Chain A
């Protein structure tokens, strides 16, 4: 089955659009001082709300980047480095 150029472009656009995903945690983190429910003396789970907010969004950054990797980067010509060995030659 062949894929039409229009469909291919559409898939490519959707794949590229996923690159915007990591912007969400970035915005959430930078807005922290101005979100009244975050910048508050109230404790969440026994610790300051700001701690939980920053930690959660930092932990979500890998999730967004993994999504980008799966949806966009794997189609790139440099998707692999040529060897599955994680350690490389550092000795």
Chain B
């Protein structure tokens, strides 16, 4: 039995009864009713009264339970899996549970953020405790009512029982009394073997609403008297607003106003989540989206290049260089930097000597373009700002941070900022950066009206906070017996480096060197699903494939050999992975993919990677049909500890794999004179249904380790598997993404 102190603290577990209106938990928005309000009502009898046991849950007098899902839902399915964890420890029947999106409340919930694959990992303990604490209070209420010791009371699926007296009750009958029970100092958590909900597949709680087109998303939100706003941003990075002509536009049908806004004034100190280089925008406000779109096209705005400036961020100053950048120049810079000595981040042994004395050295360079996130739901946000308060509703991955930004920008206290989270039509990191939320607030304030800010697809794609463009140079040294004697990675990018110096094969190689470099840029960049890993994993895993080939070894066996060394006698002390778990997924994928059995015409590539606390190995089977590569099958092995919702976890892995194949093969953003050259899906190629693998087979390592995330880990390694399978299918190594239009590398 696990005893855990309820370190969340009493302040967090606010108790209030439904009689007091349930405080902030009740009726906070029309998005609140969740597990399909309509359907839930059809199946579940709604209670007459709700009793809020703590901020995470309330119990109805009839035993129906409402569980709050604290974190933003961007498609990673935390709205189902996080409440499952609470329900497990509360010990209720999942069919009696309604899920609601929690409000933003940092007093109750910790880390209400979607990012870094951390929701389940970092929520695990507090979600369990929330459920277990409430269960303990229900038991306490029953013990008082029945005059029996609490220790003798058992629960099962929402039922309370005292064996000795034969007394039984439902949770609903004790809910009113439970509210007044002292919050326990310690709670007992279930043994993993006792889990009844965790580890079983539960359907997405929003499913019935999704398939019937209910208004779930920010872009769907409407309010009486609401206006539509759109922005016009500089057409190129490196430019700012000079002037604009509002007159003709203001007279167009449905148009209410045209003006410019300072999103972030010069004296504003940005938080990291405010990342943008478009601080001043032109705004068109009108009655309907179509009218505003038309008016926006008629705008005559003048733009001019800006001079280099320093942008004030919390704790640092960022230099934004002047200039209108071109992709061709970017690649020249990447290649120049990739060939030069850079900043040494890690050195084990004497790699320089090993390279000098090597019998043979191989050197390869890998690169990737900028990427736009391209969430299917473009950026948008609803705002209603008055002199006293601000209400904001929409899709944002970082509500905690943006609450601070809006507060600072509007000069309103934090408690007057109400941010409500909608379901989000994709995130992938783009909605970590909430400038659009500040824009909506500033526009609403200026209009003195409720406003929904809507980005067109073109706005969304050309006002990116893009995945940077990277280049990595890998070198390996061999002795005359084909043993590896040194390993060298030198990686950098525009404007940040993708290097993780302490990841495999660091720790497995005696002579190891890692260097890092960066090139400045005025193109706004940020986190994109599995930041940095989303490039370096594919590069590294492709290079390891060549190293194995050079050494005449099977690529899985070579990795296992190195991981065995890293486990038994690791080089260095900073290695950030668990070599045994890393080897575990490789062994599992080797087994499940029947790696040792060759099939005629099937070309296989393997890849494995560790990031965001989870381990993933993949084998990709490729066939050639009419000269075109077809992905027949991907076999995937994952170690993310305990799997909370298995089928949903498989879904995340499948999505990550399809996403990774798509970006490795087809996608990229290029710039000419600072202007994004792809502005919609006609020129920006995303993977389509017919290009996705014919089959994806996902397996999980079974263990009892606390769960880690899955939003990101299955995504980076597949790019290496694609490259390695392509090599076997075509005889040609692919180094530069996207592979279908691989640029020629000079030199």
* A, B bound: no
Chain A residues in the interface with B (C-beta under 8 A): none
